Amino acid sequence: MQVVVLDSSLSSLTEISWSDGDTSYSKFLNRTGVYSFKVDNGFCSVDGSFEVQESPLPQKASPAEYVFCQVEEEEVEIMLSSNYAYSWADDEIASNPRIFYDGGVYPFTAYSSDGCSLNDTIHVLDKCLPVIHVPNAFVINGVNQTFKPYLRYIENCQMSIYTRWGQKIYETSGLEPYWDGKLDGIVQQEGVYLYTLFIVSDHGNRSESGTFHLLKK
């Protein structure tokens, strides 16, 4: 909606009439088109007109998501459309391109040269390939008292433990699965055991398997 105000100081000396019959110096316009009017002071009159055009809103300035891996990259640089000016909700500096160091949701406003604005957001996602490190041994009553793989950037992991003869003796799942070397509360014998990991992540599912040693101090 647009408000057109002609010289309101003349309103007490002159009369105005619009093509639609309105007689107000302040006029609310809600559609495009040509608007004509006549101003009359009782002695002479002047005809006038103007055209109202609609300026388009800024187009969406960026993709919805940007993905980077903070383990491999310290930052991600995002270049927005050069057709607009920008202001950021979390930063007083109206920069474009902008460098992000952390994942998150970042709101901003894009401004066109006509003064139209659009609120938008950028989603910066910190997504890395799964990081998997599996120890080859652990010591009951030692420093590393549990068999616990180091896992990052996963959504879930199902871990199974087997004897060297292939008998499953333990199974668990979660983000940090571990085994304390016990079966029904009893510490198992020293020796070689097998493990399997079924890992769910943003990059798909994968399986890992191998062996490790259970040792006693």
Buried b / exposed e along 106-131 (16+ C-beta atoms within 10 A): bebbbebeeeeeeebebebebebebe
Give 211 or 101, the one with higher predicted confidence: 211
Q: What is the pLDDT of residue 102?
A: 87
Of the chain, the percentage scoring pLDDT greater than 70 comes to: 92
Q: Taking the domains of the chain in order of start, what are their residue ranges? A: 2-52, 65-126, 131-216
1 has a pLDDT exceeding 60: no
Mean pLDDT of 45-55: 80
Q: What is the pLDDT of residue 6?
A: 63
Q: What is the pLDDT of residue 125?
A: 86
pLDDT (tens digit, 9 = 90+) per residue, 153-211? 899 999 999 999 999 999 999 999 999 999 999 999 999 999 999 999 988 899 999 99
Give 148 or 7, the one with higher predicted confidence: 148
11 has a pLDDT exceeding 80: no
pTM across the whole model: 0.54
Mean pLDDT of 119-144: 89
* Across 54-63, 85-94, 170-179, least confident range: 54-63
Confidence of residue 69 (pLDDT cuts 50, 70, 90): confident
9 has a pLDDT exceeding 90: no
State the Cα–Cα distance between residues 100 and 77, nearest whole angstrom.
6
Q: Which of 124, 117, 120 is nearest to 100 (CA)?
A: 124
CATH number for domain 131-216, candidates 3.40.50.2000, 2.60.40.2550, 3.40.640.10, 3.60.21.10:
2.60.40.2550
Buried b / exposed e along 55-66 (16+ C-beta atoms within 10 A): eeebeebbeeeb
